[in-house]
Chains A and B, each alone.
Chain A
Amino acid sequence: MNKIKTYIDNANVSRFRFWVQLVTFILFVYGGYWGISISQNLPIFACPYDHATGGTCYLISLQHQLHITWANLFSWRGVAILTSFGTFLIFFLVLNKAWCGFVCPVGTLQDWITKLRKSLGIRFSRYEDSTFKYLKVIKYIFLLWLLIVPLAIANSFFGLPQMSHDWFPPFCTICPTRVIMPLFTGDVSQLIIDFSSTPSLIMTTLGVLAAGLFLTGSFVKKRFFCLFCPMSALQYLFSKIAFLRLNKDGNKCTKCGNCYRVCDVGIKEIADDITSKNIVKDDCMLCLKCVEACPEDRCLEVTFLKFPIISATEEGFFKRYGTDNKELKDE
């Protein structure tokens, strides 16, 4: 048992993650070709606009379900919303935010774009601390938008006129995933600006702009889009009760900042917070790079229902960062 634990602690998690991501990417982008359909309520951006997707993002189900009149909301259709949400929650609780780091095809795509940038030797950007604090809020705004607009299309709020159906689905139309993911199956039909009505024009233009922003953004900034992802916001509401956790023992932390250095989303608390035990923040994607980079024994630890899965160890750290005798090739 101890041997297995040591093996895992010394493992190169990033390499493991790369392969898991590759498999899940194929599954959720091309899975439909093999008739795979895992669920309609997945906590990842498996985009149904890609006709071959092997499962569906919960957000689109949620938007469709919330396109409902008040009367229906409190009828059996309301129950459907709850069961759908329950499925989402069960999926989410098992892996917590590791869905983002290991499974989400959009996250994977961004990691690959980062790899491309790295191979070109172009440096990455980091947000300044103050900018980061403001940008973080955007995903919650998106979440509210996608919850409220479907209701406002189906109902009248405070006697205001109902919104045009052309705003629907309010997030998907502006989501860069809708434009980009279908391209992987050769489908360009989403790369379009719809002139048929003003809402459609606005939304599709924003969508295409967002796609452009996504491509450039994720090229210069690691996991650029994740900072704005409403799924991440929704997930974080339930992250505290998830089974998979990332714990930190603040007493063991020397604040060396290794974890923050390697953090793709730039969570500062991972290095500076020495009081919280549960260190999963809203932008965290549980990629476990911080655990790999932490040289203090059991300072960072990933547990599943309190059972330790992988811990930071000195030995593991040096295995990954120190004793590699390979010299870099000449530029």
Chain B
Amino acid sequence: MRRLPVIYGKQHQANIIQWIRSGKLPENSKYADQYDLFNPELFVFDPNGNRVNGKLVNNDLGFVVTFPGSEDGFYSIYLVEKFVNNDTLNIRVAKTERMNHSCRNGHDKALVRVQPKIYPKQIPIEIIRKRVTGENLHTVMHPGNDVTFQVLIKEAPCKNGNVQMSTHKGWVKSQTTNNKGEVSFQFVQDDNTNIKELRQRITFNYLIHFKKTIKQNGNFNDKHYNFITYISTFSDNYRPSQMLYSSFVWALFVIIGSVLTLTAGIYIYRKRRRVEYKEIALNE
């Protein structure tokens, strides 16, 4: 079984807590534990690009990552595994970006502060979420948005890699990266979002999964390998579309509007029919 760590978390807490799970799809994944992992190495970078000390611990919430930090901006958290299995070097990276923001700290230079950062020295493979136009410290993805991801292997864009997106509610779509190593997805409306979830502002997570095998010889920890398999995951969350509210509102508007216009139309039509006969218009 392939094991793929995923990181999931909550914002706005003094210590950001991350769970790590295994499984490819959110719906059938499970929480990972320390025994599943092969020499995991944890990297946590604060928004300024400095490595901070993070820890993998087992606590009441499960197997989690904790780290200190109160800087405004994206904390990038990576869990890296490297091991040789048969003749393949497996390089697995689980990545997540956590926005830490308090409005007390102000919103200056928001556009700069939200830009992604990469750490090629430590992290061999990166999945970057391209920032959307006008992204700020409060941006949350919603269904209906277009999201673009770029895959870099050792800073170079990865062509023809398979990227799969899956959402909390089970929507799955695969695409192949282009010359720039980019793929775009459109978040599709979840079928069974109900209005209760919307009202409670529940966040859901999605997962980007990338896998590519290349032929390359080498040694790792004294073991020889002929292939390298890169597996990387990137997880983030999204909320049911704000547009969903407007979807309902629009629908109400359309149905009431159509009923009213039609009723008025029929009423006027019936009124007009009662008008005395005047003139016949002939086609010339």
Contact = CB atoms under 8 A, between A and B. Distances in A.
Nearest to A189: B194
A190 to B, nearest CB: 9
Contacts of A195: 144, 189, 241, 243, 246-247
Interface residues of B, number: 28
Contact of B257 (A166, A200, A212, A219): A212
B266 A212 contact: no
Given A196-B187, A212-B256, A191 B262 contact: no
B254 interface: yes
Interface stretch (A57-65, A203-211, A263-271, A304-312): A203-211
Contact of A213 (B188, B243, B247, B262): B262
- Which bucket holds chain A's interface residue count? 20 to 34
B248 A188 contact: yes
A14 to B, nearest CB: 26
A220 B247 contact: no
A216 B252 CA distance: 15
B200 to A, nearest CB: 15
A197 interface: yes
A209 B254 contact: yes
A216 B248 contact: no
Interface string A133-171: 000000000000000000000000000000000100000
Given A209-B254, A215-B259, A194 B266 contact: no
A192 interface: yes
B189 A216 contact: no
A185 interface: no
Interface of A: 125, 166, 179, 188-189, 191-197, 200, 204-205, 208-209, 211-213, 215-217, 219-220
10 contacts: A179-B255, A188-B195, A192-B244, A193-B247, A193-B254, A196-B143, A212-B255, A212-B256, A213-B258, A217-B262
8 closest A-B pairs by CB: A212-B258, A216-B262, A196-B189, A193-B250, A212-B255, A196-B144, A208-B254, A192-B247
Given A211-B258, A212-B255, A213-B258, 4 more contacts: A189-B192, A197-B186, A213-B262, A219-B263
